[in-house]
């Protein structure tokens, strides 16, 4: 296991560096300057700023300079939020997105798996059809529609929760529900289809013939192999949901990291964009690793192969 982990970690380093270099390159070759404002900028001032922030010289020189700084733990300064380092921005924003994302992730799995199992146990019956329709609905409604409707009903219709803001627990309820709901549907459908497939397998038929109860059959025997597709899906989902959502953060005024993906690109704030991409990349690699590890635990065939 240790060898496996070490090998995966070592192979991740070039992946991260390549992603960073590509990200830096794409933002730098996009037209427009990070220092441009509606007021004209003196060319000398622009040249001075480029020099100051390490954006002078050729693109390969800039990338090498940036890569070297990253390896020394320096992600650079934000070009738009003057006087702020990228590390400082991430350190303030990421925990908020992590908190919101963790709740949404727990909700997505916590609601999706039981719903899927319940529907699979009633395969092709009315509750299964209902649940399928609900899952499809949650999948199809975009967040930018779901969130304002939720605010309308639960903040103004029945004033249960605040419509936006950050700082109190009730303010977390609507954004985490809206963030989780589309994934609840996906998780439910993946669990349901996995269980239906597994319950048709020979070993389940054997268990059933031996007189194992339906509840034990699903929860003990079938669920474990049935959630494998869900585990494969949950890894990238965790990385994406934990690094924030632009729409949810904007609608609910959540000061998370999600907004910087888009505003950073718009502002050509190359260090900020690269910083948040780095976080996303590391989280994605980490959760892929966790997914592989969980798959090995859940599926004895994979364990045997490795």
Note the residues at the interface with other proteins (CB under 8 A).
30-42, 44-45, 48-49, 77, 80-84, 88-89, 92-93, 95-96, 98-99, 102-103, 106, 148, 151, 155-156, 159, 162-169, 172, 250-253, 255-256, 259, 266-268, 297
Q: How far is the CB of 181 from other proteins (least distance, A)?
A: 19
Q: CB within 8 A of 111, min separation 6: which ones?
A: 180, 184, 187, 188
* DSSP state for residue 77 in the 8-state scheme: B
Residue 121 contacts residue 221 (beta carbons within 8 Å): no
Nearer to other proteins, 40 or 209 (CB): 40
Q: How far is the CB of 264 from other proteins (least distance, A)?
A: 11
CA–CA dist 22, 94 (Å, integer): 23
CA–CA dist 76, 69 (Å, integer): 8
Q: How far is the CB of 31 from other proteins (least distance, A)?
A: 5
Nearer to other proteins, 185 or 269 (CB): 269
Nearer to other proteins, 34 or 116 (CB): 34
Give, in degrees to the nearest 5, the angle at Cα 11 between 10 and 17.
Answer: 95
Nearer to other proteins, 236 or 255 (CB): 255
Q: How far is the CB of 15 from other proteins (least distance, A)?
A: 25
Q: How far is the CB of 246 from other proteins (least distance, A)?
A: 11
From the list 91, 72, 71, the residue with the least C-alpha distance to 279 is: 91
Q: Which residue has the tokens 């304002």?
A: 148
Nearer to other proteins, 134 or 173 (CB): 173
CA–CA dist 29, 262 (Å, integer): 17
């Amino acid at each position: 296991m240790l060898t496996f982990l070490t090998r995966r970690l070592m192979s991740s380093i070039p992946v991260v560096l390549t992603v960073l270099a590509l990200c830096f390159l794409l933002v730098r070759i996009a037209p427009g300057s990070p220092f441009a404002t509606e007021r004209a900028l003196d060319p000398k001032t622009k040249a001075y700023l480029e020099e100051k922030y390490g954006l002078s010289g050729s693109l390969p020189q800039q990338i090498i300079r940036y890569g070297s700084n990253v390896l020394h733990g320096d992600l650079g300064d934000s070009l738009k939020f003057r006087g702020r380092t990228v590390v400082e921005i991430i350190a303030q924003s990421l925990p908020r997105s992590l908190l919101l994302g963790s709740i949404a992730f727990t909700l997505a799995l916590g609601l999706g798996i039981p719903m899927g199992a319940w529907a699979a146990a009633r395969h092709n019956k009315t509750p299964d059809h209902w649940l399928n329709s609900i899952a499809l609905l949650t999948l199809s409604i975009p967040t930018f529609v779901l969130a304002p409707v939720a605010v309308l009903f639960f903040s103004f219709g029945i004033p249960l929760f605040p419509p936006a803001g950050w700082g109190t627990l009730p303010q977390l309820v609507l954004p985490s529900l809206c963030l989780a709901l589309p994934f609840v549907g996906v998780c439910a459908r993946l669990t349901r289809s996995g269980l239906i497939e597994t319950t048709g397998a020979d070993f389940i038929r054997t268990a059933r013939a031996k007189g194992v109860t339906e509840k034990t059959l699903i929860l003990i025997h079938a669920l474990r192999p049935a959630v494998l597709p869900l585990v494969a899906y949950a890894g990238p989902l965790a990385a994406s949901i934990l690094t924030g959502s632009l729409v949810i953060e904007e609608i609910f005024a959540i000061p998370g990291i999600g907004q910087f993906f888009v505003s950073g690109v718009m502002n050509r704030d190359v260090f900020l964009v690269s910083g948040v991409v780095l976080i996303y990349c590391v989280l994605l690699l980490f959760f892929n690793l966790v997914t592989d590890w969980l798959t090995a635990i859940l599926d004895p065939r994979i364990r045997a192969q490795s």
